[in-house]
Each structure stands twice: as structure tokens, then as C-alpha cells.
Amino acid sequence: MIYKNIFIQGAGIMGAGIAQVSAQAGMNVTLMDLSAELIKKAIDSIERNLLRSMEKGRITLQDKADILSRIKLSTDTEGAKEAEIAIEAVFEDVELKKKVFNELDKICPSHTILASNTSSIPIGFIASSIARKEKIIGLHFMNPVPVMRGVEIIRARTTSDETFNIAMDFIRKLGKEAVEAVDYAGFICSRILDAMLNEAVRCVMDGNRPEEVDKAMKVCTNFPMGPLELIDLAGADIVLHGLEIMEEEFGDRYHPAPLLRQLIRSGHLGKKAGKGFYNYT
């Protein structure tokens, strides 16, 4: 199948990254958010990424211009009317995602695949709010999207084989590798990763310094980034929200470490706030 038009709702880090790799694969992308300021931040981020790729010799100046020309910015959902695939990349809030998909279900053509980039919310839960339940699927891209080659693909019980096959083909056309995950909260990656991140927070509560926790995981287990650095990158609020969703499904083993809530109460969300486990100011 040829994918000409991709619609992405949510211009944060994930939405911008998905827009970039889709445009690099030759697709026309509409990147939508409610705020012109968020849209501006997203395109600035994409331009910086492409500039780095150009400096490393991976793309030419003309490639950069061509990729940017295929990304249209919008503050409304008009672009969804022509999309073969519409991807939701908004905040990890169940009701917000249901609202987005309910609107896309009404706007998009009948053949459009509706995909969620959720990292933790069961796809079946989201599908319950829309009519075309056979057309919904989970596409959990990893952060940063242009760098990470894996994408979790999650089908709800209602997802058709046709939808699944189209989604798999789409991921391959992006140059990514799909990992099929069963539709439970957190899928595979978040279930394993968030449990580890939560335990790293508990290590700090036990008196270990953040620097030593991260150093241990990098030099002793060959992690490219320490778990606390990763929490700061993702955002403490995002990690907490994921743990809460999984705790609801799996019980106490995902109960968030109290220090995580303390950081959030203090506004120390990580890089985006200038301070988390580390100071970025």
C-alpha cells in the first residue's frame, strides 16, 4: 500500500518525531496541535534534528528542504480528512485519548487506520469509544523516534487482520522494526522498563546518590543511559502516570515510589522543567 497522507495529532516530542520519520520516508504529513506555540516548537525540533543529520553527512541540504516541505503544520483536524493513517500522540490521559479518537472517527474517511502512540493504556480501552473498532491499533514509538528503530505494535481484540497488516507495512516503510505486543497495560517495553525505573527511584530513597545509581547501570550493565537520566528525559509525571495505569491492571508490584510523587509536587519533572534528579538550569 502507498501511504501519501499521514495525520498526527499532538506535536510534542513523540508527535514531532513521528512526523519527521514519516516525512523522511516520503509521506506528506499534517502535524496538528491546538497551540501555534507547540507547533512552532515541534518544527524547530525537527529542523535541529535534520541539521544534525546533515552535519553528519546522512542527508544533504536538499534532502532537509524536501523533508520539511512534506510537513504541514495545523491547529485544526482538516488534514485528517485525507489521511490513510491518523496517529494520536497526545498526553497519556484515557479520557483525552478517547475524545481525540471519537473526533477522528467522525472526520477520517472510512478506510483510515486510527493509531495510538500510547505507551501504557490498553488499546481495547481506547477502542471502546469509537465505531470503527476494527480500524484501531497501537503503534508505540520509542523516544527519540528518529533514533530508536523499534516500534511496539498492539492490536485490540477488535482490530482486524487487514488493519494489523497495513500497520506492519507502514512501520517497515518508515525503516523501523515492529515488535508485536499483547494488549495489556504497558505492553512489553513499559512494563519492564517502568518497573526498573521505579526501583531506581527506590534506590535513591535508600540513600544512594542519583549519580551512582546511573553510573552503576552504565558501567556495570552497559546501559547507554542511566535510569534516573531516563526519567528526567521522559518526565517524572509521565513515568508516574504509566506506573499508575499498570498498578491498576497488575497490582502492587507497580506501586510508584513515594519520591516520584514528591518530585512532581515540587515541580521537578526533569529536563522540561529544568530540574529533576539533576539540575538542567
Q: Among residues 157, 181, 205, which one ends one of the domains?
A: 181
Specify the pLDDT at position 3.
80
* Percent of the chain with pLDDT strictly greater than 70: 100
Specify the pLDDT at position 232.
97
Residue 217 domain-assigned?
Answer: yes
Q: Are residues 175 and 265 in the same domain?
A: no
Q: How far apart are CA 167 and CA 178, in angstroms?
A: 9
Q: Are residues 127 and 220 in the same domain?
A: no
Specify the pLDDT at position 175.
97
Q: What is the mean pLDDT of residues 243-247?
A: 96
Q: Which domain holds residue 202?
A: 190-273
Residue 281 domain-assigned?
Answer: no
Within 10 A of 63 (CB to CB), how many other CB atoms are there? 14
- Residue 179: is its pLDDT beyond 80? yes
Q: What is the amino acid identity at position 176? A: K
User: Residue 115: which region, alpha, beta or left (left: phi > 0; alpha: psi -120 to 50)?
Assistant: beta
Specify the pLDDT at position 269.
97
Residue 114 domain-assigned?
Answer: yes
Q: Domain holding 240: CATH number?
A: 1.10.1040.10
* pLDDT 10s digits, 74-112: 999 999 999 999 999 999 999 999 999 999 999 999 999
* Percent of the chain with pLDDT strictly greater than 90: 96
Mean pLDDT of the chain: 96
**Residue appearing with cell numbers 496517529:** 87
Q: Are residues 206 and 161 in the same domain?
A: no
Residue 212 domain-assigned?
Answer: yes
Specify the pLDDT at position 2.
74
Residue 247 domain-assigned?
Answer: yes
Residue 279 domain-assigned?
Answer: no
Residue 280 domain-assigned?
Answer: no
- Residue 146: is its pLDDT beyond 80? yes
Q: Among residues 159, 181, 203, which one ends one of the domains?
A: 181
* pLDDT 10s digits, 184-238: 999 999 999 999 999 999 999 999 999 999 999 999 999 999 999 999 999 999 9
Q: Among residues 126, 160, 181, which one ends one of the domains?
A: 181
Number of domains in the chain: 2
Q: Are residues 101 and 177 in the same domain?
A: yes
